[in-house]
């Protein structure tokens, strides 16, 4: 009985024997290197996905990405609802949507069930994930890839226009109550003439804090719409007026795979936007987090050993 209990404790603490929809996104295992897909301080994004705080201007990276794969396709008990969001408080000018909120919830349902597809993104990075993470999500952030921060966006363009891996969707959906901006995409002053325009901290990001296994965190994300708003014929308006889940992030979408993205319904299809096995738009948000430092994991292991001795 004591041996069985100890085994259960180790499984709970380590949690690496079962597939979970959360993967390491540093380099390695993400490829290629070099890539020139990070800020100047980390031009090849070796430390993962970078963020800048809107108030303090502090820059920091997240090492892991969490996904909402469908159960039996690598997802956990919550399936595609592990990352979910529903539109509310829609405001109109005539028939056009001028502002709205999304009540977003992230549920840590690691570990997952089944296998998953590998990830890729529009700027040439790829990930073949073999060692999933299962455990508490630390310092969790959600990026809204369908939205802009107008100040950052206008400063980045500086009279130019979005092109290449940068898409422009008018009228812009503008984030209001975000906490940070996420990096996208090409490193400034990189030597590759094809990797332009240079990137910046551009993608609105919301803090969700720490999320323990089996627990959820909910936050209301606020947005306005530029100009006259979203017309009834705009696919984004059609999606917002449904009662469906609007947020998704499958493993096929590595990091911020595309920006600006659209926003649409997540109906639980395993890979909604599958395109020849590489679904760059199988997300309209991304969720990033950290994991315990190795020293912390070592202490947890020592604690389990001490507990075994007591048993």
Contacts of 302 (CB under 8 A, 6+ apart): none
Per-residue pLDDT band at 112 (split at 50, 70, 90): confident
Collapsing DSSP states into helix, strand and coil, what is residue 297? helix
- pLDDT above 90 for 252: yes
**pLDDT per residue as tens digits for the range 218-228:** 999 999 999 99
Long-range contacts of 192-196 (CB under 8 A, 24+ apart): 192/36, 195/36, 196/164
- Cα separation of 249 and 256, whole Å? 10
H or E element at residue 86: strand 83-93
Q: Percentage of the chain surpassing pLDDT 70?
A: 85
Q: Is the predicted pLDDT of residue 280 greater than 60, yes or no?
A: no
Helices (H), the chain: 2-14, 150-157, 235-240, 294-310
Provide the token pair at 279. Answer: 């679904």
Residue 9 has pLDDT above 60, yes or no: no
What are the tens digits of pLDDT across the range 183-229?
999 999 999 999 999 999 999 999 999 999 999 999 999 999 999 99
Mean of per-residue pLDDT scores for the chain: 87
Range with the lowest mean pLDDT among 42-56, 97-111, 126-140, 196-210? 126-140
Angle between helices 2-14 and 294-310 (to 10 degrees): 170
* Dist CA 57 CA 224 (whole Å): 24
Residue bearing tokens 């408080």: 89
Q: How far apart are CA 261 and CA 264, in angstroms?
A: 10
pLDDT reported for residue 132: 86
By mean pLDDT, which of 115-129, 161-175, 294-308 is the weakest? 294-308
Confidence of residue 294 (pLDDT cuts 50, 70, 90): low
Question: What is the rounded CA–CA span in Å between residue 181 and residue 171?
Answer: 20
């Amino acid at each position: 009985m004591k041996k069985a209990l100890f085994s259960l404790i180790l499984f709970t603490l380590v949690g690496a024997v079962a597939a979970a929809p959360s993967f390491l996104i540093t380099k390695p295992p993400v490829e290629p290197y070099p890539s020139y897909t990070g800020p100047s301080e980390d031009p090849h994004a070796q430390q993962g996905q970078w963020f800048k705080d809107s108030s303090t201007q502090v820059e920091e990276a997240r090492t892991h990405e969490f996904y909402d794969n469908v159960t039996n396709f690598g997802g956990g008990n919550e399936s595609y609802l592990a990352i979910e969001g529903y539109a509310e408080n829609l405001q109109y000018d005539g028939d056009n949507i001028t502002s709205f909120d999304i009540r977003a919830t992230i549920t840590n349902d690691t570990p997952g069930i089944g296998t998953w597809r590998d990830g890729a993104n529009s700027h040439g990075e790829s990930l073949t994930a073999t060692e999933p993470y299962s455990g508490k999500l630390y310092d969790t952030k959600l990026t809204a890839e369908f939205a802009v921060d107008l100040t950052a966006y206008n400063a980045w363009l500086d009279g130019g226009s979005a092109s290449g891996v940068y898409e422009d969707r008018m009228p812009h959906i503008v984030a209001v109550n975000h906490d940070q901006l996420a990096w996208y995409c090409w490193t400034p002053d990189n030597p590759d003439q094809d990797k332009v325009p240079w990137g910046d901290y551009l993608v609105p990001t919301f803090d969700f804090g720490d999320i323990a296994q089996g627990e959820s965190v909910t936050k209301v994300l606020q947005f306005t719409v530029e100009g006259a708003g979203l017309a009834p014929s705009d696919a984004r308006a059609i999606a917002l007026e449904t009662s469906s889940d609007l947020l998704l992030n499958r493993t096929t979408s590595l990091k911020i795979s595309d920006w600006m993205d659209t926003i649409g319904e997540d109906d639980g299809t395993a890979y909604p936007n599958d395109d020849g096995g590489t679904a760059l738009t199988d997300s309209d948000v991304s969720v990033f987090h950290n994991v315990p430092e190795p020293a912390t994991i070592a202490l947890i292991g020592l604690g389990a050993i001490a507990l075994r001795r007591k048993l």
